[in-house]
Amino acid sequence: MKLLSWNIQWGRGMDGIVDFNRILNAIRTLDAFDVICLQEVAVNFPGLPGSQGEDQFTLLSQGLPEYTGIYGIATDLPNAKGGRSYFGNAIFSRLPVSQVWRHLLPWAAEQSTPSMQRILIEAVIQSEIGSMRVMTTHLEYYSQQQREQQIAHIRHLNAEACAMTHRERLDEEQGGPFEVHVRPVNAILCGDMNFPATARERLQILMPFDSGTPDFHDTRATLFPDEPHAPTVGIHLVDFVDKPECFDHIFITSGLLNHLKTHRVDAATTASDHQPVWIELS
């Protein structure tokens, strides 16, 4: 199974142009991915630089017709045309998708710090190496405190999911919204985490869980323990980092470690201000 994670900056490249054909072509050129996790997907948001207010989730879905598309809306606002403007993340899977969850993350009030609502999408994917939960998110950029609160919540959600794995199905819950579906302990957590690989937030994600919940492992560090993380921002000139850093991470739980084969970063594309990151499990 090949999984890609990429913050596409609402389709805006380093030239300032929003171009979804370029985004889709970049993805297809890299590999034939089974699961594609994208951050910063906008719908009806003409205020974003370079955007004409396009329905970006629909454009991506049309360009990926063989995939099941899942959109997680973090920001939901009224717009000047009387409609709604959405901003969030998306998962596209050409593997079978079971149950899906959309978890809004904590958004603490900090009076002098800009911030916005963040979301975690969680989907159960059926693959040849077994079912697993794929989670993608985009953590707060401006506030370390908020990132740490969001990570704590994600860890809590992961532990809850693992506890649900052992829950038995009850007869009265069959065939309706109360029905309990398989929620596997194996999981992938990916996205734009907005912290460098040397940050304490990374160590927070990697902290051991209590018994019954498998730990997260950094896929890059697992395969290249003696090398620094390859940068995913700042390779091409950007103004939000002082030097190239790795902000885009993919973590997997213990049960998937023996399946991990590759971790790669495409440093060439300028279709976004972030670089695509992907792994292969086999």
In degrees rounded to 5, what are phi and psi of residue 29? -70, -35
DSSP label of 224: -
pLDDT of residue 81: 83
Q: Which residues contact 84 (CB under 8 A, 6 or more apart)?
A: 43, 44, 76, 77, 78
Does residue 130 sit in helix, strand or coil? strand
Contact predicate 58/25, CB 8 Å: no
Q: pLDDT tens, 134-144?
A: 999 999 999 99
pLDDT higher than threshold 90 for residue 180:
no
Query: Are 57 and 90 within 8 A, CB to CB?
Result: yes
pLDDT at 168 over 90: no
CB atoms under 10 Å from CB of 187, counted, come to 23
Average pLDDT of the chain, as a whole number: 95
Banded pLDDT at 54 (limits 50, 70, 90): very high
Domain spans, the chain: 2-108+115-166+182-281
Q: What are the CA-CA distances from residue 5 to residues 135, 213, 250 (Å)?
A: 10, 24, 8
Least confident of 16-25, 72-81, 168-177, 256-265: 168-177
What predicted TM-score, i.e. pTM, was given to this entire model? 0.96
Which one is predicted more confidently, 81 or 102?
Answer: 102
The residue whose two tokens read 């460098």 is: 196
pLDDT higher than threshold 90 for residue 45 = yes
The end-to-end CA distance of the chain, in Å, is 6
Interval 201-253: pLDDT, tens: 999 999 999 888 999 999 999 999 999 999 999 999 777 888 999 999 999 99
Mean pLDDT, residues 270-274 taken together: 97
- Give which of 115, 114, 120 is closest to 150, Cα–Cα: 120
Calculate the alpha carbon distances from 62 to 66, 87, 91, 95, 201 in Å: 9, 18, 14, 17, 36
Architecture (CATH level 2) of domain 2-108+115-166+182-281: 4-Layer Sandwich (3.60)
